[in-house]
Amino acid sequence: MGLKNSFTSGRRRVGLLAVLTMQAGLAGCAGAPGPDGINDPYEATNRKVHAFNRGVDRALVGPAAEGYGSVVPEPVQRVVGNVADTLDLPGDIANNLLQLRIADAGQNSLRLTMNLIFGIGGLFDFSTAIGLPGKPTDFGETLHVWGVGEGVYVELPFAGPSTARDAAGMAVDVVLNPVRLALPDKEATAATVLKLFSRLGDRNRYSDTIDSILYESADSYAQARLLYLQNRRFELGQEAGAAEGAGDEGFIDPYEDPYAE
């Protein structure tokens, strides 16, 4: 969660990454999930990346987030988070449109307009205050809507748990982010830095949860993988699932367990 999106690198490196993940994605689309719903043929490599990510979190991201949380006053943290969210909105709207989710696109557009005008350029989240929450999305979801399967599970360096499809989506979101494309280089960099601070804020805010997964569980790799996949599938299936049988996928019947007796 807190490890997501640590792309500080320049556009060229991000572009390279995009190509690499696309290739990994295409190569990784083979294979079906096991009975546990997990498709992780590259587990050995993923575990190495996970160990690396854990090291990065322990040595850098975790302490930096703690420092950020204790030094920067909460209202300022909130403003940073709000601006970062506002900067995400154009990308969200573009994805909403690509998904043909016109109502969501409308809601996010209204949100963007309101927060820019009444939230003073996105400093304040005016929209949520009046009951207009965001409909965050990404290109991974767009690919899902277009019928692309999630592919293999991957843990990305710095970015953390993902799937072949979501990794490709993330690369596209970074490269084709309308805000980055519209802003001059300097401002685009400033926006990226701001997003990084917002991520540090998230890492700090959810530190109990993140620490319990990364440092207190017996197998932090398997826990992070399960959590990501379950939560991601929930996010993506939300609209369809609300109608019928939403709980079925995750349903385990302990009374008719193959393990019991």
Quote the least distance from Cβ 55 to other proteins, whole Å. Answer: 20
User: How far apart are alpha carbons 40 and 42 in whole angstroms?
Assistant: 5
Which residue number, 18 or 112, has a Cβ lying nearer to other proteins? 112
189 vs 223, beta carbon nearer other proteins: 223
Q: Tokens 């090291």 sit at which residue?
A: 55
Select 17 or 210, whichever has its Cβ closest to other proteins.
210
Contact partners, residue 117, CB within 8 Å, separation at least 6: none
Backbone angles phi, psi at 162, to 5 degrees: -165, -175
Question: Residue 178: CB partners within 8 Å, gap ≥ 6?
Answer: 90, 91, 94
Q: Which is nearer to other proteins, 219 or 239 (CB)?
A: 219
Q: Which element (helix H / strand E) includes 154?
A: strand 153-156
Please say which residue, 5 or 223, places its beta carbon nearer to other proteins. 223
Q: Which is nearer to other proteins, 103 or 251 (CB)?
A: 251
Q: Which of 32/251 has CB closer to other proteins?
A: 251
Q: How far is the CB of 216 from other proteins (least distance, A)?
A: 9
- Tell me how far apart the alpha carbons of residues 258 and 247 are, in angstroms, rounded to a whole number: 20
The single residue listed with the structure tokens 């300022």 is 76
Structure tokens at 250: 């995750």
160's tokens: 């953390």
Q: Considering only CA atoms, which of 86, 157, 162, 96 is closest in space to residue 126?
A: 86
Q: Which residues pair with 120 in a beta bridge?
A: none
Compose the 169-208 pattern: x for residues touching other proteins by CB under 8 A, - for all others: ------------------------------------x--x
Q: Is 254 in the site for other proteins (CB under 8 A)?
A: yes
Nearest-angstrom CA–CA distance, 206 and 1: 9
Which of positions 204-233 make contact with other proteins (CB under 8 A)? 205, 208, 212, 217-219, 222-223, 226-227, 230-233
Stretch that binds other proteins, among 91-99, 143-151, 185-193, 251-259 (CB under 8 A): 251-259
Map residues 101-140 to x or -, x wherever contact with other proteins holds by CB under 8 A: ---------------------------x----x-------
Alpha-carbon gap, residue 97 to 205, rounded angstroms: 31
Footprint on this chain of other proteins (rule: CB under 8 A):
128, 133, 205, 208, 212, 217-219, 222-223, 226-227, 230-235, 245, 247-248, 250-257, 259-261
